[in-house]
Structure 1
Amino acid sequence: MAKWGEGDPRWIVEERADATNVNNWHWTERDVTGWSSDKIKALLLGVQVTGEQGVCEVTAVDSMEGEASINNRKGKLIFFYEWHIKATWTGTTKSGIKYKGTIEVPNLSDENDMDDLDISIALGKDEPKTPLADLMKKEGEKKVRLALGSYVGLLKTEFSQGMILPTVNGMPSQKQTQETPPKIKMDMTQSASSTSVSSSTTGVKIPTCKFKLKDSFLTSPEELYRCFVNQEMVRAFTHSDALVENYRGGKFRLLDGNVSGEFVDLVPDEMIGMKWRFKTWPTEHYASVTLTLRDKDDETELILDVRGVPTNEEERTKEGWQRYYLAAIKMTFGYGSRLL
């Protein structure tokens, strides 16, 4: 037993009349079951795959049984989560015929690596055979795994703040570190781009990546520029309410608040720079997005450069831009052209 006034400062309680758990050094627990349920549903409902057969997407999360919590013991964060998930996917052929199927994940838990996760995808009981089932089993399973990996990563960043408090000198000790998010096997494209590291406001570093997309639109740079900065045009192609303050430092929010950010640079008809984020990303973490417009005779070439995307959000972010921005603008305003 150390003498009064000596020893580990985390045990010193004489300066506090209530003898509170100083710096959360003793066992501290936070229940995140409700947050986890909402987050998993949001991430799964964003899963979509497209192929020659048609489009498949997760359309409902039917049941979620389980719990999740974060614990701090002597400056170390411990994450507990265990979920049994059942969901529904819907496939639509290019001719408009719809099929339904099921998704079951019985063992999403801290005891299993994401690569060992059991994901069962099947066609509905009374549904006739369709190539869409193979598409969902092959590509859809990858997207479901990435979505659930994103949940675990967010669990270990968004809810770590406040679980470990500063020590007597105002800085966390070396032991007060957080477990890293689970590693997910990636293809060569993902691993090649996942090289940079960014930090969220919680002080926890998260792995990030970058990607580029090119597309062409049958319109002028002036008109395409307006699609991104004109509030009414944004509302039109997103089919929802939107806030767009089209000046440097202006905010934007669209798709029911699922996407938000700030314009950091605007060069009319030529370039748009912005801080951009999904609502589900770690608090205050933004990607850097640059849109470059180039006049190509009768069409406009758009170059999209995105940096600082959380690694486990790469495919979802890329698909989001392709589906909710590029394809939506073409369909709404008739600017359709070939993908480069």
Structure 2
Amino acid sequence: MAKWGEGDPRWIVEQRADATNVNNWHWTERDASNWSSEKLKSLFLAVRAENAEGTCEVTEVSKLDGEASINNRKGKLIFFYEWNIKLAWTGTTNTGVKYKGHVEIPNLSDENDVDEIEISVSLAKDEPDTNLLALMKQEGVEQISNALRTYISTLKTEFTQGMILPTVNGEQSNPAPHPVRKGDDRKVTESGNTSNALKSKSVGVKIPTCKITLKDTFLTSPDELYRVFITQEMVQAFTHCSAVVEADKGGKFQLLDGSVTGEFTELVPEKHIAMKWRFKSWPEGHVATINLTFIDRAGETEVHLEGRGIPAREEERTREGWQRYYFEGIKQTFGYGARLF
């Protein structure tokens, strides 16, 4: 047992105003729903686009369903937000003719980057066509996207004030916020000071993740290239290492002498491979999802890769690894390099 004064500083509670939860070592949670609702409304109602045809502006936030919260775990801020939004907009021509329309944003959440968020603009039922619709779809959508960026930024700065409690010396520790994506990370069971709400949702520590995309072309058919990825002997040939590949839905695989492991979740011959995929050095239990799509290009095959849940610090390493050890390895081993024109 440690002597008095020599214990882990995370558990020191004396000389503190609150005397509990030192450095927020346990979960603390703050509901950001009401604040977010007011912030989003003010940002949307400021949207106004104008050109030679007239002006378009958001006149009402007709639907704002969802929630937002911030959790502090071991000094790291973890953000959750999910909103389904509908807006009303009005366009006015230079001659005074008015048109009404709607904007729908069904998927504003921490799982998606702003550039990935769908923003749908339309005219109200029975409204005649107008050039103002194009103005709203271009400049109006751009301003709405900027409003979303502003909301996310202020949520992670302005609203987080005070989330990091004072230390034993009365100073504050403000580590950089860590955005996370739902469903991408392993969960750690909490005890002790964890709230009942958190327990019921099995909320745990999450790590920052990202998405990667790659595209490449191979001088072979989709059928042949598909077989390269799921045939053990062919995998061993292009990786130049021992491998275990069970080519069935739910089948396991192990590549590069165990450095890469995973499981096939979907296999559609010639068209699609989906898998759970992880690198050995990643946090224990954390897996990414990899999707490979094969497109027939008249004698060549175009492959689209999308990886989600990649640990943020492993982004470049993972992208380069797929390009080098998979794509380039396959081309060099089987002669599938694209034609040179």
TM-score of the pair, normalised by structure 2: 0.49
